[in-house]
Amino acid sequence: MNSTLRSFLTGGEGGASPLADAGLLLLRLFTGLALAFGHGLGKLPPSAGFIETTGNLGFPLPTFFAWAAGLTEFVGGLCLAFGLGTRPAAVLIAFTMAVAAFGQHGGDPFSGMEKSLLFLVIAVVLFLTGSGRYGLDRLLQPKDNRIWR
């Protein structure tokens, strides 16, 4: 893989200081574990109701997309928590949360959308910052070509 692309995908030096990176670690751990165990695990395997809801949102292969949503929340949440593949996981989580907020809860009052929007915004923030120096992404980054300093 091109080292510049690998540097972007595994960019883990998000904070300006060790204290800022400790903040990213805390944000990743809580968000990732809450998403994985509070939301994703309960969707695996997808129930008939969840598959039906996914189909009602207009997805052409509701079983596939129900699995994709559940796995994104569970595996993606764990990836965030460990800081492993943070940026790719954040993109998938952001997409899933956008569908949840604006598709499933689009007609709800703000309080019904709030949780999905919160996960969406945190995913975008972690996409922009990377995992920080205390994530496993840092171990995968090419040492000779770090573009995210």
pLDDT tens-digit map of 77-107: 999 999 999 999 999 999 999 999 999 999 9
pLDDT score at 81: 97
Q: What is the C-alpha separation between 71 and 76, in angstroms, rounded?
A: 7
Contact residues for 48 (Cβ-Cβ < 8 A; gap 6+): none
Residue 75 reports pLDDT greater than 60: yes
Q: Do 50 and 66 contact (CB within 8 A), yes or no?
A: yes
Q: What is the C-alpha separation between 55 and 36, in angstroms, rounded?
A: 23
Q: What is the C-alpha separation between 96 and 57, in angstroms, rounded?
A: 12
Q: Calculate helix-pair angle for 48-56, 62-71, nearest 10 degrees.
A: 110
Q: Do 36 and 78 contact (CB within 8 A), yes or no?
A: yes
Q: Which two tokens stand for residue 44?
A: 């695996």
pLDDT score at 148: 44
pLDDT score at 18: 87
Contact residues for 51 (Cβ-Cβ < 8 A; gap 6+): 62, 63, 66
Q: Longest C-alpha distance within the chain, in Å?
A: 50
Helix (H) / strand (E) element for 124: namely helix 110-129
Residue 147 reports pLDDT greater than 90: no
Q: What is the C-alpha separation between 107 and 43, in angstroms, rounded?
A: 22
Residue 19 reports pLDDT greater than 80: yes
Name residue, tokens 């949503």. 69
pLDDT tens-digit map of 22-70: 999 999 999 999 999 999 999 999 999 999 999 999 999 999 999 999 9
Q: What's the mean pLDDT in 114-139?
A: 93
